[in-house]
Amino acid sequence: MAQTFTDMPLELLREYRPALTAPDDLDAFWDETLAEARDAARPAVLTPVDGPLRALSVQDLTFTGFGGDAIRGWVVRPHGDEVLPAVVEFIGYGGGRGLAGEKHQWASAGYVHVIMDTRGQGSTWSVGETPDPHGSAAAFPGVMTRGILDPREYYYRRLYTDAARLVDVVRTLPGVDPTRVAVTGGSQGGGLAIAAAALSGDAVAAVMPDVPFLCDFPNAIVRTPSAPFTEITRFLAVHRDAAEDALRTLSYVDGAILARRIHAPALFSVGLMDDVVLPSGVFAAFHALSSTDAALEEYTYNGHEGGGYRHWLRQVAWLDARFGLA
């Protein structure tokens, strides 16, 4: 954890609204991408999983994401056939869906908890099982620069599509109330939650990104001292003439641009000593929201771990109130 503030003073962060330019064809780009994925979709498959988590039901989920690719996940919920609200969780950079039943807090709180595996990741700090079968041109190690010179080839086009497709699928799962689906995640997972809410319209009823990554790229790639943003700076240090193309591609996936499309209630978190995701990026995305019901929890003395379990308790109370569970 960083020992001092890693970004601008708090009073400036609370006013920070960078002038980020969206591509002229942003809406058409994502409409076409999602239409192609939905045309290639096949029925989701749920398989019961045995294990020691006896108080909850655990199911292995396979659904189709970008390009009809098979994406794995877990569905964890209370036993029974009661129709419940759902929380869809996306995973931080380098991680995967984990082991069966490893994540169960939201189900314990009375929600259907759906965890998405992350294509091509899942071997850094938590296990994943979903490959990314698409190659790319030369890239720096990691996924941040895979296909970065062309928005149609960029890795995050595929991953954002997976996230939006999962929202489609969750709303059709047995025992899920399709009018009460929330998205959440930390770091990369928070960026994916923003993307899923932005690309899914009113299908997402609430969004809860924690210390969200993938926002305000022009500022982040020149100011952030830690990986993974530095993958992009390292790439551009070698590909010296590629900055314009790279920044154009990043504008299609920038959470501080996509957040303008979000009207759902939103609860964000930020660590003011975060040197992995600078607070300015979180504030930029938060200030871009079109939501009338939005809050940002500030953790003054925390880094990229954010508010931890304390913030999860805040999330539960906040979501219970909006979904009528309070």
Catalytic residues: 187, 274, 304
Cis peptide before 133 (omega within 30 of 0): no
**Residue 288: both structure tokens together:** 């871009």
Contacts of 44 (CB under 8 A, 6+ apart): 61, 62, 63, 64, 169, 172, 173
Q: Is 156 annotated as a binding residue?
A: no
Phi-psi domain of 187 (left: phi exceeds 0; alpha: psi -120 through 50; beta: other):
left
Q: Report the alpha-carbon distance of residue 298 to residue 294 in Å, rounded.
A: 13
DSSP letters along 53-90, please? -TTEEEEEEEEE-GGG-EEEEEEEEESS---EEEEEEE
Distance, in Å, from the CA atom of 166 to the CA atom of 250, rounded to the nearest integer, reads: 22
Nearest to 144 by CA among 211, 221, 71: 221
Binding site for substrate, residues? 93
